[in-house]
C-alpha cells in the first residue's frame, strides 16, 4: 500500500519529534502493509509550520540513509499538506513548498471550522495553472459534517478527496465517521491515508478492522484502488480517471 499523507519527517511540525520516532513510525506502517510513503509536513503561512523544503529534503535524506542502513524496504517521497492560502503557486515555484513528489498533485487542507469563501474560484485558478487538487480529510471539516450537499458540491468541482483511515474507527468523532462512510458509499474517495503523526497510533493497532470496514463498503478491488493504485499514479504524475 501507499500512503500520501503523513507527518513523519522529524522536528518539522506536530508530527514525529526525533529520528528514532520517524523510523519507528515507518516500521509500524510497514508491518501493516505500507511500502511507499509520501511525507507531507504541514505548511501554514504565518505560523511556526513554515519551514522551506531545503530543511525537509535534508531530513528526508537522513531518513532514507537510515532505512538503507537498517535494510528497511520502504520508499519515501516528499510532499506538503498545505493550509489553504493565496500564494500556493508562488510558494511552489520558489520551492518553499512542494507538490506530491514534484507531480501536478497538491494536497490542500481547509480550516476545520470556518468555511472558505469563493473556494470554487480558488480551485479554478489553481487548476488553470496545471495543478490537480486533493482535499485532505474532508470528513473532518465541521461545515461538511453539517451539510453533505456542501461536500458533494466541492467534489463536483473536480477536486479529489483523501480521507483518513482513522475516521472509520471514530478517531475524529462519530460525525466524521458517518461522513467518511457516506463518501465511500458514494464513490467520492480517491485516496485513503493515515495522516499519522507518531509511532503509537490507533490506526496501526486497528488497521485490520479498518481495512475490513472499507472492503465491506466498497469491495476489495476498490480498496486496492484507493489504498494503492491511485497513489501510485500520483507518484508517477499520471492522470487518475
What is each CA distance from 110 to 26, 82, 94, 134, 204, in whole angstroms? Answer: 26, 9, 22, 11, 25
Distance CA(130)–CA(132), nearest Å, equals: 7
What confidence score (pLDDT) does residue 190 get?
Answer: 98
The predicted-structure confidence for 91-150, as pLDDT tens digits, reads as follows: 999 999 999 999 999 999 999 999 998 999 999 999 999 999 999 999 999 999 999 999
Tens of pLDDT along 174-197?
999 999 999 999 999 999 999 999
90, three cell numbers:
508562488
pLDDT in tens, 69-104: 999 999 999 999 999 999 999 999 999 999 999 999
233 vs 160: CA distance, rounded Å: 13
Q: Strand order of the sheet with strand 42-43?
A: 42-43, 81-83, 105-109, 132-136, 160-164, 191-193
Domains of the chain listed by start with CATH number: 2-235 (3.20.20.140)
- Give the bridge partners for 39, in sequence order: 78
Q: Which pTM value belongs to this model?
A: 0.97
Amino acid at each position: 500500500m501507499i500512503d500520501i499523507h503523513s507527518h513523519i519527517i522529524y522536528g518539522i511540525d506536530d508530527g514525529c519529534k526525533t529520528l528514532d520516532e520517524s523510523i519507528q513510525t515507518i516500521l509500524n506502517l510497514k508491518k501493516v502493509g505500507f511500502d511507499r510513503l509520501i511525507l507531507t509536513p504541514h505548511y501554514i503561512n504565518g505560523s511556526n509550520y513554515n519551514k522551506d523544503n531545503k530543511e525537509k529534503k535534508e531530513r528526508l535524506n537522513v531518513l532514507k540513509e537510515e532505512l538503507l542502513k537498517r535494510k528497511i524496504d520502504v520508499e519515501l517521497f516528499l510532499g506538503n499538506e498545505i493550509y489553504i492560502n493565496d500564494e500556493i503557486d508562488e510558494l511552489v515555484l520558489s520551492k518553499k513548498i512542494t507538490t506530491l513528489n514534484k507531480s501536478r498533485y497538491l494536497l490542500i487542507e481547509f480550516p476545520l471550522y470556518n468555511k472558505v469563501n469563493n473556494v470554487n474560484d480558488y480551485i479554478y485558478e489553481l487548476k488553470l495553472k496545471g495543478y490537480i487538487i486533493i482535499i485532505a480529510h474532508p470528513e473532518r471539516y465541521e461545515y461538511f459534517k453539517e451539510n453533505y450537499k456542501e461536500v458533494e458540491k466541492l467534489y463536483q468541482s473536480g477536486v479529489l478527496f483523501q480521507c483518513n483511515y482513522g475516521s472509520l474507527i471514530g478517531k475524529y468523532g462519530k460525525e466524521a465517521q458517518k461522513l467518511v462512510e457516506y463518501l465511500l458509499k458514494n464513490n467520492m474517495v480517491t485516496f485513503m491515508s493515515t495522516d499519522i503523526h507518531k509511532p503509537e497510533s490507533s490506526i496501526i493497532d486497528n488497521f485490520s478492522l479498518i481495512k475490513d470496514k472499507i472492503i465491506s463498503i466498497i469491495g476489495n478491488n476498490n480498496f486496492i484502488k484507493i489504498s494503492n493504485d491511485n497513489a501510485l499514479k500520483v507518484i508517477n504524475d499520471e492522470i487518475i480517471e
